[in-house]
Structures are given as structure tokens and as C-alpha cells.
């Protein structure tokens, strides 16, 4: 019996998807619930399992095609799994081995007719294809050219000396490749452009001495990992510091809705995660109530799901404030773009040892530049600067986080 393979129910607010990849081709047998095809939405990749066991009969929605909820993707012919006949497989392998042996033996015979010998020599010449001529090989050695990337103009596509010289004078192969944007990359582009076109974005900077945080991590990292099963990183300190600062400066945690300012009485903090598919921002909901261990554990889980392609749309929706860490890639300073409709985003950067003045003396300390990009329509420069100062004070004296100061 034929069974239709359909687009499953799409997440709320998602109207369509793009066929990203078929894992099976017509004629392939599939088990029930085995992943048949990946569908890419604006945020996540959905797996479409086989509705029954059988043979994939037809694909009606090809890779790259846009599909909607309930649309047919293909058909499956229900059947039992094919039984493998071990004896038959062994006999077939034996026959193939014998056939190859016969062909090898016949190649040793010397009673070939002149015409067959000529045909064989001609085939051998044609099979050389784009092999370089002796003069081309010498020219390639002199010019330092890899002939595998040179297009041959000689007989049968053979690479000649002029081909090598033209390739060398042109500076080598000038290849181009056009790749269509993925659904996620297109959506990221739309949102980034929307932020620039809508908000009045301004960025303020400060620097943080992370010596106190590094001392705490060095002292307690082993005990922390043993008790909580997760490493103590920098991000949890930054999340806690930002939550404290957001409570002191609630306009930084607000958003614009038409001609109204929406003040959020909670801190849903988005953590930017880089994946092969693009940037994803899973949300730590009510981050103000989370412990350092809870934050680190949630971030680790989100990062694993994001890079494994199993993150859910609801994990990415909402958020009142975002933190992005370009420092993991070596960025010294940057101006991050807003994650609309949020009004602010904090950029972390790489830690560098730098000389600073401390108690009248020059000392070397691990320093980080931090940047706050904000929507100047509702966030004044004073609020932005005071927010950054509050973050700086909390990180340079982590006891403030425990005392709520």
C-alpha cells in the first residue's frame, strides 16, 4: 500500500519550510520512523520520519523547494524489510572474483590480432585525457604550477606547454562558486538589516579587569565541576552581572512596540551561539533567578543542541537582552547589532593582559573590552554608560553578586 509522506505540523509563526536534504532516494528501503528528509525553517531544522517501513517510491518535493504544512513530499510503498541471502551474496562475490581472474588471464595472451592491438593502443591514448605533455611537465616545474588545475587544449584534453604558461600568467585558476543562501542565513540577513533600518543604534564601551573572576575560577573550578557536572566559565558571571545591571536600569531591558515602551519585569537573556548553519540565540528564561551552575548547564545544553541541529523553535523565541562573545574567535573590540525587538546587546571580547594603574602602581591584569549597543530611541547615553559601569563593578568585585549590591 502506498503512503504519502507529508510536511508535519510547523511550529507556531512558521508558515513554510525549505527541503534541505533527502537522506533516502527512490528505491531505497527505510525503517519506520527513520529520518527521510530535513526541512529548514527560519530558525530550526525539522526531521521528517518515515510513516511506515517500506521502499521510497517517489520524491515530489526536491531539495531547495519551498513547502507548506501538510504538503506531500513523496510516497512510500509499505513492505517488509528485504531478507539478505548470505549464500547468494557469497556466490555472487565468487562469480565476480572468477570473472576478474579470467579477464586478467586473457590479458596475458599474445595472439591478439593487429586490429585489436591498434584499438587497445588508441584507447590507451584516449584514456590519457588531460595528462600533460613532457614539455608541459617541464614548464609546470619551472613555473611552480599544479597541472591538475590546468585546462588542457590539446588532443583529448591533453595539457600542453602553452596551457601551462597561460595558467601561470593568469595567476592560477580563478574559480567562482555560487551558493544559494540557506533559509537561516536569509533570515539572519533580514533581521540584521531590520535592526539597522529601524533602531537608532549607538555603541558605548568600557573595559573590565577580570582578575577577580579568574581567581575564583582557578580556585573553585575542579570542585565546581565535580559537584555540578559542568565547567565554570566566564559566561555565567557575565549573565549574573547583566541581570543585576538590568534590574538597576530597566530601560535597557525594555523594547519598543509602536509608540509604546514595554518594560519587562524579568530577564530573559539570549546567548549567541555560532553554528555551521549560522548564528542562533537560545534564551535563558528568568535568568535573574538562575545560579551560576544552572546558567552554565543550560548554556552547555543549548550549545550542544544548536550544533547538533536538534534545538527547538521555542528555545529561540523571545528574549529581552542578548550577550554575544566574539572573544572566542579573537575579537578585540566590536559593535554588535541589536537582536530586534530588544533594545540592547552586550558584546564580550578576547581577554588580553595589559598594563593598568592600580593603587598608584603599574600592574599587568587580564583585561576585556565590553561593548553595549543600544536603541537610542529609548535608551539614553547616561543609562547605557551606567549599565556598563554596573556590569564592570560586579565583575571586578564578584562579592557584589552575592550581596545584591
CATH number at residue 44: 2.40.50.100
Task: Specify whether 371 is located in the same domain as 350.
Answer: yes
What is the helix (H) or strand (E) element at residue 102, kind and residue range? helix 86-106
Task: Specify whether 162 is located in the same domain as 16.
Answer: no
Task: Specify whether 202 is located in the same domain as 171.
Answer: no
Peptide bond into 76 cis (omega under 30): no
Task: Specify whether 152 is located in the same domain as 224.
Answer: no
Give the CA angle between residues 105, 106, 111 to the nearest 5°: 130
Question: What's residue 154's pLDDT?
Answer: 80
For the chain, the distance separating the N- and C-terminal CA atoms, rounded to the nearest angstrom, is 69
- pLDDT of 90 > 70? The answer is no
Task: Specify whether 19 is located in the same domain as 6.
Answer: yes
Task: Specify whether 156 is located in the same domain as 52.
Answer: no
* pTM assigned to the model: 0.65
Q: Which of 145, 180, 215 is the last residue of a domain?
A: 180
**Which residues does the annotation mark as catalytic?**
376, 380
Task: Specify whether 256 is located in the same domain as 139.
Answer: no
Band of pLDDT at residue 210, cut at 50, 70 and 90: very high
Among 21-30, 157-166, 279-288, the least confident range = 157-166
Band of pLDDT at residue 110, cut at 50, 70 and 90: very low
Helix (H, G, I), strand (E, B) or coil at 352: strand
Question: What's residue 172's pLDDT?
Answer: 59
Q: What is the pLDDT of residues 352-382, one digit of tens each?
A: 999 999 999 999 999 999 999 999 999 999 9
Residue with cell 540557506: 182
Task: Specify whether 284 is located in the same domain as 141.
Answer: no
Domain assignment present for 368: yes
Task: Specify whether 314 is located in the same domain as 398.
Answer: yes
- pLDDT of 256 > 60? The answer is yes
CA 191 from centroid of its chain's CA atoms: 17
Residue 44: all three cell numbers together: 530550526
| Cα separation, 371 vs 208, whole angstroms | 11
Which residues, in sequence order, are CB contacts of 321 under 8 Å at separation 6+? Answer: 242, 246, 252, 253, 267, 268, 269, 270, 342, 344, 345, 346
What is the helix (H) or strand (E) element at residue 262, kind and residue range? strand 260-262
**Residue 169: domain span:** 135-180
Task: Specify whether 160 is located in the same domain as 224.
Answer: no
| Cα separation, 394 vs 405, whole angstroms | 8
Question: What's residue 177's pLDDT?
Answer: 75
Among 50-54, 128-132, 141-145, 185-189, the least confident range = 128-132
Domain assignment present for 272: yes
- pLDDT of 127 > 80? The answer is no
- When computed from its CA atoms, the radius of gyration of the chain, rounded to whole angstroms, is 31
Task: Specify whether 266 is located in the same domain as 378.
Answer: yes
Domain assignment present for 112: no
Count of domains in the chain? 3
| Cα separation, 248 vs 385, whole angstroms | 12
Amino acid at each position: 500500500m502506498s503512503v504519502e509522506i507529508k510536511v508535519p505540523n510547523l511550529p507556531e509563526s512558521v508558515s513554510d519550510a525549505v527541503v534541505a536534504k533527502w537522506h533516502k532516494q527512490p528505491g531505497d528501503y527505510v525503517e519506520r520512523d527513520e529520518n527521510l528528509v530535513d526541512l529548514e525553517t527560519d530558525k530550526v531544522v525539522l526531521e521528517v520520519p518515515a510513516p511506515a517501513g517500506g521502499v521510497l517510491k517517489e520524491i515530489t518535493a526536491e531539495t531547495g523547494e519551498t513547502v507548506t504544512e501538510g504538503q506531500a513530499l513523496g510516497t512510500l510503498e509499505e513492505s517488509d524489510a528485504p531478507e539478505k541471502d548470505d549464500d547468494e551474496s557469497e556466490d555472487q562475490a565468487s562469480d565476480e572474483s572468477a570473472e576478474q581472474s579470467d579477464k586478467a588471464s586473457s590479458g596475458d595472451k599474445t595472439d591478439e590480432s593487429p586490429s585489436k592491438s591498434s584499438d587497445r593502443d588508441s584507447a590507451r591514448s584516449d584514456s590519457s585525457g588531460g595528462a600533460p605533455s613532457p614539455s608541459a611537465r617541464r614548464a609546470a616545474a619551472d613555473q611552480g604550477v599544479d597541472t591538475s588545475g590546468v585546462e588542457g587544449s590539446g588532443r583529448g584534453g591533453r595539457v600542453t606547454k602553452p596551457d601551462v604558461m597561460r595558467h601561470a600568467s593568469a595567476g592560477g585558476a580563478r574559480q567562482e562558486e555560487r551558493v544559494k543562501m540557506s533559509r537561516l542565513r536569509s533570515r539572519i540577513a533580514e533581521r540584521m538589516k531590520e535592526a539597522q533600518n529601524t533602531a537608532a543604534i549607538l555603541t558605548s564601551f568600557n573595559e573590565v579587569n577580570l582578575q577577580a573572576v579568574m581567581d575564583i575560577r582557578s580556585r573553585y573550578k575542579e570542585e565546581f565541576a565535580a559537584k555540578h557536572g559542568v565547567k565554570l566559565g566566564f559566561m555565567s558571571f557575565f549573565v549574573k552581572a547583566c541581570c543585576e545591571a538590568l534590574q538597576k536600569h530597566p530601560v535597557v531591558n525594555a523594547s519598543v512596540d509602536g509608540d509604546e515602551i514595554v518594560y519587562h519585569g524579568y530577564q530573559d537573556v539570549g546567548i549567541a551561539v555560532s553554528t555551521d548553519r549560522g548564528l542562533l540565540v537560545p534564551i535563558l528564561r528568568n535568568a535573574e533567578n538562575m545560579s551560576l551552575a544552572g546558567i552554565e548547564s543550560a548554556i552547555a545544553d543549548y550549545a550542544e543542541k544548536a550544533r547538533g541541529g536538534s534545538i527547538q523553535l521555542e528555545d529561540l523565541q523571545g528574549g529581552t537582552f542578548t550577550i554575544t562573545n566574539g572573544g572566542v574567535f579573537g575579537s578585540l573590540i566590536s559593535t554588535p547589532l541589536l537582536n530586534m525587538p530588544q533594545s540592547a546587546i552586550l558584546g564580550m571580547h578576547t581577554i588580553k593582559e595589559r598594563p593598568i594603574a592600580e593603587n598608584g602602581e603599574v600592574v599587568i591584569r587580564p583585561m576585556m573590552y565590553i561593548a553595549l549597543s543600544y536603541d537610542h530611541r529609548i535608551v539614553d547615553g547616561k543609562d547605557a554608560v551606567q549599565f556598563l559601569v554596573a556590569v564592570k563593578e560586579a565583575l571586578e568585585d564578584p562579592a557584589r553578586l552575592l550581596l545584591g549590591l
